[in-house]
Amino acid sequence: LGKENNCSMIFDHFGFSIQDKVTKHVLLTGRSHSGLYPIPGVAASFSPPNKAADHEVAYLGQQVKFSLWHSRLGHPTNEVVHSMLKSASLPPIVDSHPHICQYCLSGKMHSLPFPTHHNKAVTPFHRIRSDVWGPSPYKSFQRYRHIVTFIDEFTGFSWIYPMFAKSEVFTHFMKFYAFVVNQFSVVIKYFQSDGGGEYVSN
């Protein structure tokens, strides 16, 4: 109310007053009642300059957009907002851009966004990513049903090993590690998997 109409409001134990921020003129006053501050239907205390106190006046506020009603009413669905505005005889003002509430999207997320990853590989075999797939619904010509992949993050090169069972994962990892050490004279600094348990299970 204050932001949209460029006015300030003062509340105390006895009542409230609304004041124009530019002219400092008191626009409206009212008394408190049982802890509430009802706005009087007739502004007897409103006395514009050079006007009589009993002069009929009308209060003009900015038309509130749909997105603001959505926030004020506690982020309900669009149908609920339309229904409430209709019951109060208030015309909904459609936003110039499609209304997408970021708070509603965040509230519906199952997990928080992943943090920005700054630790990137700077040399070949700095970080190796591995994943295991299977079992396949069909066996290969050699009767394999699983595969394990090793991907170098820096170069993007991939190594794929077929397997008969997931229990062979660690054996193929040791073969791949020996291949890297013997062929490239480097060691793998970081190894990343999806945490499926293939590298820790017996």
In this predicted structure, what is the pLDDT of residue 60?
46
Which runs of consecutive H residues, i.e. helices, occur in the chain? 2-5, 66-72, 78-87, 102-107, 169-184
Tens of pLDDT, residues 33-72: 877 777 765 444 444 444 444 444 445 455 677 888 888 8
Domains of the chain: 1-41 (no CATH), 66-108 (no CATH), 127-199 (3.30.420.10)
Which runs of consecutive H residues, i.e. helices, occur in 32-145? 66-72, 78-87, 102-107
Residue 180 to residue 183: CA distance in whole angstroms: 5
Are 164 and 144 spatial neighbours (Cβ–Cβ below 8 Å)? yes
- Taking the whole predicted model, whether its pTM rises above 0.75 is answered as no
Q: Which residues contact 140 (CB under 8 A, 6 or more apart)?
A: 162
* Section 140-168 average pLDDT: 92
In this predicted structure, what is the pLDDT of residue 24?
84
